[in-house]
C-alpha cells in the first residue's frame, strides 16, 4: 500500500483468506477484488457484469484505498474467483467482523432495544439465493443459515449449506462460532431439536423453540395441557398472560400469550436441556370481514415470562421482513445468479449502520452510496 492509499479496517478481517489462484498469475490481488465487489454491492450493482463496469467507472475512487495497478478484473474473472473461494474462511472472517460491530455498539437500536427488556434476541433462519445454482455444472443454489441480532439489526454470522434439509446440521456449527453468552436464541420449528438445544445451553445462551409436527409427542403433550388448563382457567398452575393488539391497513391482529413455568411433569417425559417454561401464542387476525385464529406452541430454557415470549416471538417473525425481505427487495437476492451471499450480508450490515446514522430508508441509503463516492466512503469505513 502506498502513502497515497488509505486503509479500510473492514478489509483487515478478510486479509487472512487464502487466494485459490496461482500466486504467479495473480494480476488482481484478493483485497482489491473484495473491495471492488463490496463497493459494487453497496452501490447497487447487480451481478458481476455491473460490478466490473462500476469498477471501471470508479477506478480513481478504488485507488484511494488500494493500488489496482492492473485496473479491475473482468466479470468472468470475478465469477471464477468467487466460485473458488474458501467459504469457510470467508465465514470466519465475517463473523469476527460482525462481532466487532456488535461489541462496539455501532448499530442503531431497534424499537424493542433496551437493557430493561431482557436478553439480546438472536434469530437463526435460512434463505436460498434461488438463481445462484447451475444445474449444468451440478452446483446447487447457495443456501445460507444466518444469525440475526433482531434488535441491533445485524447479521452476526452465516453458514453455507447444500439445501434447507441440512439446516439441522448447519445450525449447531454456526452457533458454536458465535459469542452468545446471555442471549436468547430463536429458531423456526426445524431447529426444535434436542441437540440444538444442548448446543445453545452449552454456549451460555437460552432458547425459545416453536413446537410443531417434527416433535409429535411433545406437541401432543403441550396441546393437551393448554387445552385442559384454558378450560379450567389455569386453576392447576400459574400462567402469566400478555396481550397485544395491532390495527393497521385494514387488518386487526390480537395476539394472546400464555407462559407457564410449572414444567416438571414435562421435563420428566421429554429430555430437553434446561427446559424451564412453555408458552402458547394465539393469533386472531381479522381482515375483510374474515377472522382466522392460529395457535403456536413453544418451549424455553428461560423462566416463565409472557412479555418476553411476545417480544421474542415477534422479533423472530421479523427476520422475514428485516433481513430476508430486504435481501430480496433491496438486493434482488432471489434473482441474483451470483454466489456472493456473504458479501451481500456485509453490505447489508454497512448500509444498516449508515441508515441508522442518517435516518434514511435502506433503499435511499444505498442510492446515496451510488450517487456520491464520498458518501460511499463513509459507508464502507463505517463512520459519519
* Beta bridge partners of residue 252, listed in sequence order: 247, 286
- What pLDDT does residue 320 have? 62
Long-range contacts of 161-169 (CB under 8 A, 24+ apart): 161/126, 163/128, 164/126, 164/128, 164/190, 167/126, 167/191, 168/193, 168/196
Cβ count within 10 A of residue 243:
11
For residue 2, pLDDT over 50 is answered with: no
What integer is the mean pLDDT of 73-78?
Answer: 90
List, for residues 311-364, the tens digit of each pLDDT value: 999 888 766 656 544 554 444 444 344 445 567 778 878 887 887 777 788 788
pLDDT tens digits for range 44-70: 888 889 999 999 999 999 999 999 999
B/e letters for 69-87, b = 16+ CB within 10 Å, e = fewer, are eeebbebebbbebbeebeb
> Could you give the CA distance from residue 201 to residue 181 in angstroms, rounded to a whole number?
9
pLDDT reported for residue 205: 97
SS3 70: coil
Helices (H), 58-131: 59-62, 75-84, 87-104
Instruction: Please choose, from the candidates 331, 333, 340, 321, the residue with its C-alpha nearest in 3D space to the C-alpha of residue 369.
Output: 331
66 in Cβ contact with 6 (< 8 Å)? no
> Max alpha carbon distance in the chain (Å)?
77
**What's the mean pLDDT in 180-188?**
94
- What is d(CA 155, CA 168) in angstroms, rounded to the nearest whole number? 19
Strand partners for 279 = 259, 298
pLDDT at 312: 94
Burial of 148 per CB tally in 10 Å (0-12, 13-18, 19+): buried
Mean of per-residue pLDDT scores for the chain? 82
* Structure letter (DSSP) for residue 334: G
Quick one: which of 126, 45, 143 has its CA closest to 323? 126
Half-sphere exposure in the Cβ direction for 163 (13 Å, CA): 4
The per-residue pLDDT for 164 is 47
Q: What is the pLDDT of residues 211-267, one digit of tens each?
A: 999 999 999 999 999 999 999 999 999 999 999 998 877 789 999 999 999 999 999
Q: What is the pLDDT of residue 68?
A: 94
The per-residue pLDDT for 329 is 43
Residue 106: is its pLDDT beyond 50? no
pLDDT of residue 104: 55
Percent residues over pLDDT 70 in the chain: 80
- Answer for the pair 117, 311: CB distance below 8 angstroms, yes or no: yes
CB 239 within 8 A of CB 258: yes
Confidence of residue 383 (pLDDT cuts 50, 70, 90): low
> What's the Cα-to-Cα distance from 274 to each of 44, 259, 260, rounded to whole Å?
45, 16, 15
Find out whether 313 and 282 touch, Cβ atoms under 8 Å. no
DSSP strand pairing (239-248 vs 206-211) = unpaired
d(CA 137, CA 329): 28
Read out DSSP for 202-263?
HTT-EEEEEE-TTSHHHHHHHHHHHHHHHHTTSTTS-EEEEEEEEEETTEEEEEEEEEE---
Amino acid at each position: 500500500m502506498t502513502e497515497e492509499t488509505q486503509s479500510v479496517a473492514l478489509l483487515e478481517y478478510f486479509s487472512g483468506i487464502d487466494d485459490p489462484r496461482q500466486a504467479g498469475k495473480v494480476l488482481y490481488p484478493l483485497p482489491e477484488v473484495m473491495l471492488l465487489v463490496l463497493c459494487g454491492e453497496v452501490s447497487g450493482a447487480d451481478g458481476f457484469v455491473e460490478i466490473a463496469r462500476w469498477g471501471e467507472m470508479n477506478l480513481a475512487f478504488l485507488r484511494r484505498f488500494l493500488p489496482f495497478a492492473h485496473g479491475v478484473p473482468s466479470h468472468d474473472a470475478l465469477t471464477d474467483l468467487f466460485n473458488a473461494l474458501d467459504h469457510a474462511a470467508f465465514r470466519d472472517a465475517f463473523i469476527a467482523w460482525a462481532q466487532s460491530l456488535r461489541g462496539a455498539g455501532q448499530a442503531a437500536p431497534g424499537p424493542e432495544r433496551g437493557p430493561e427488556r431482557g436478553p439480546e434476541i438472536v434469530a437463526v433462519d435460512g434463505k436460498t439465493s434461488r438463481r445462484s445454482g447451475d444445474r449444468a455444472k451440478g452446483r446447487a443454489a447457495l443456501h445460507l443459515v444466518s444469525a440475526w441480532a433482531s434488535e441491533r439489526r445485524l447479521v452476526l454470522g452465516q453458514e453455507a449449506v447444500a439445501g434447507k434439509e441440512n439446516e439441522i446440521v448447519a445450525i449447531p456449527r454456526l452457533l458454536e462460532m458465535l459469542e452468545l453468552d446471555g442471549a436468547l436464541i430463536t429458531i423456526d420449528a426445524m431447529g426444535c431439536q434436542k441437540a440444538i438445544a444442548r448446543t445453545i445451553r452449552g454456549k451460555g445462551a437460552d432458547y425459545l423453540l416453536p413446537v410443531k409436527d417434527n416433535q409429535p409427542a411433545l406437541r401432543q403433550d403441550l396441546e393437551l395441557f393448554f387445552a385442559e388448563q384454558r378450560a379450567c382457567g389455569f386453576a392447576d398452575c400459574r400462567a402469566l398472560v400478555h396481550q397485544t393488539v395491532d390495527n393497521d391497513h385494514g387488518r386487526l391482529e390480537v395476539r394472546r400469550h400464555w407462559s407457564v413455568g410449572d414444567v416438571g411433569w414435562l421435563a420428566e417425559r421429554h429430555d430437553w436441556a434446561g427446559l424451564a417454561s412453555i408458552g402458547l401464542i394465539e393469533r386472531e387476525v381479522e381482515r375483510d370481514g374474515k377472522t382466522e385464529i392460529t395457535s403456536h406452541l413453544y418451549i424455553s430454557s428461560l423462566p416463565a415470562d409472557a412479555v418476553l415470549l411476545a417480544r421474542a416471538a415477534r422479533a423472530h417473525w421479523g427476520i422475514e421482513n428485516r433481513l430476508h425481505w430486504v435481501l430480496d427487495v433491496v438486493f434482488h437476492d432471489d434473482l441474483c445468479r451470483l454466489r456472493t451471499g456473504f458479501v451481500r450480508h456485509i453490505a447489508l450490515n454497512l448500509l444498516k449502520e449508515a441508515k441508522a446514522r442518517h435516518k434514511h430508508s435502506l433503499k435511499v441509503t444505498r442510492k446515496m452510496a451510488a450517487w456520491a463516492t464520498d458518501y460511499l466512503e463513509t459507508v464502507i469505513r463505517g463512520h459519519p
